[in-house]
Amino acid sequence: MAVWVEGLAAARDLVLGETCAGCGAGGGVGLLCPRCREVMDPSPFPVRPALPPRGFPPTTAACEYTGPVRRLVLAHKERGRLAAAAPLGRLLAAAVAAACPGDDPVVLVPVPSRRSVTRRRGHDPVARMAVAAARLMTGVRPARVRPVLGHARAVADQGGLDRRQRRVNLRGAFRLHGHLEPGPAHVVVVDDVCSTGATLAAAAEALRWGAVAGAVVAAPALRLGTEDT
């Protein structure tokens, strides 16, 4: 399915001229135009929801969820721009490095997509970004991806749900379906975007591991507790 989605995206770009996923500029600019590549540098910051859900792990975002970064995330997730996994993986690697500084090994645990959503999209965007991030990090420190989380039950689409509804929707939603033996490595739950923190809290709870950090590509600009982030 992923090959079919990638082929469809390539055919579209061939007909229309490849457009920038960050700003929509045409003319065969490639995945990102020079301007969007320039502004898409990581600037990691801690994510602090105003009312963090129980179990929310210490989390770092690489950049704000706005502008070209937001559009790149959506192009990768919803429009089959699979090549976006590489620049998004670079941002995710920066968030992981900020969340767990040093050169100790890290284990990246991607937040799983629902099977129906993966089938519709033709790929699992978070898993793809995690693999790209781990490849980049291996030149600096040992890094591996362990997709050991699955869904324990059906959940509703998070879109349109408020903070309380998201917490209820995701409480107990994940389960550990593999064996996680991180040893001396840091365990980091990774996702593309953190909004209310409900997803990362539910994932960290399912891991049942003592010290879990979170890392995401992006989070909204309001970070310091005045509103949900």
Q: pLDDT in tens for each of the 229 residues of the chain? A: 444 344 444 444 434 447 899 988 876 667 899 888 888 899 999 998 878 888 899 999 999 999 999 999 999 988 888 999 999 999 999 999 999 999 999 999 999 887 766 677 777 899 999 999 999 998 899 999 999 998 766 665 666 666 666 666 566 678 888 777 767 789 999 999 998 888 999 999 888 776 799 999 999 875 444 333 3
- Kindly list the domain boundaries of the chain, sorted by start residue: 42-219
User: What is residue 129's DSSP assignment?
Assistant: H
Beta strands at 59-64 and 212-219: parallel, antiparallel or unpaired: parallel
pLDDT at residue 172, rounded to an integer? 60
Sign of CA dihedral 190, 170, 172, 55: positive
Q: Which residue has the tokens 């990581």?
A: 42
Sign of CA dihedral 61, 63, 65, 71: negative
pLDDT at residue 10, rounded to an integer? 43
**Helix axis angle, 163-170 to 198-207, nearest 10°:** 20
pLDDT at residue 164, rounded to an integer? 67
Residues 6+ apart with CB under 8 A from 107: 143, 144, 145, 146, 180, 182, 185, 186, 187, 188
CA distances from 183 to 2, 19, 104, 137 (A): 33, 44, 11, 18
- Provide the 3-class DSSP secondary structure of residue 190: strand
Enumerate the β-bridge partners of residue 176. 149
